[in-house]
Structure 1
Amino acid sequence: MESQTYHGYTVWGHAILQQEDILQPERYGASGTITLAGKLVEASGILACFDTEDEAQRAGLEWARAWIDSHG
């Protein structure tokens, strides 16, 4: 999980392990969370799946920043 401050909000990018079959390579679901003053503002579901945790976290952060930009 990675967090940043963006326009006064705290945005979080999450990487959620999505391993459906033990024989398949690990994949990570991306999601994002937005908080303001410690309170939940918005959270996404799974946005997409990625091969690495970093890619998934970045996608979650990008979603959160875009949500703030479109609702601000």
Structure 2
Amino acid sequence: MELESYRGYNAWGHAILQQEDILQPGRYAASGTITQNNKLVEASGVLGYFDTEEEAQQAGLSWARAWLDSHG
């Protein structure tokens, strides 16, 4: 999980390891969550699949920033 403060909210980028076949390298599903004062504001579904944990986390953070920009 990656946390970023943005516009008075906490934006979280999540990377969920997806291991469909034990012989293939895992990929990461990306999602994002927005909280404020320890309360859930909004959460995404799966945003896509990425080869690295960092890419997935960044996709989640990007989604959270975009959501806040469009709802603020």
TM-score normalized by structure 1?
0.97
Deviation of 1:34 (Å): 0.0
Report what 2:70 is aligned to. 70
The within-5 A match list for 1:19-58 is 19-58=19-58
Unpaired runs of 5+ in structure 2?
none
Letter in 1 for 2:50: F
d(CA) in 2 for partners of 1:48 and 1:24? 18
Q: Compare the two structures and name the one with the higher strand fraction.
A: 2
Identity %: 75
Instruction: Look up the SS of the partner of 2:29 in the other structure.
Output: strand
What is the distance in 2 between the residues matched to 1:10 and 1:22? 35
Aligned residue pair count: 72
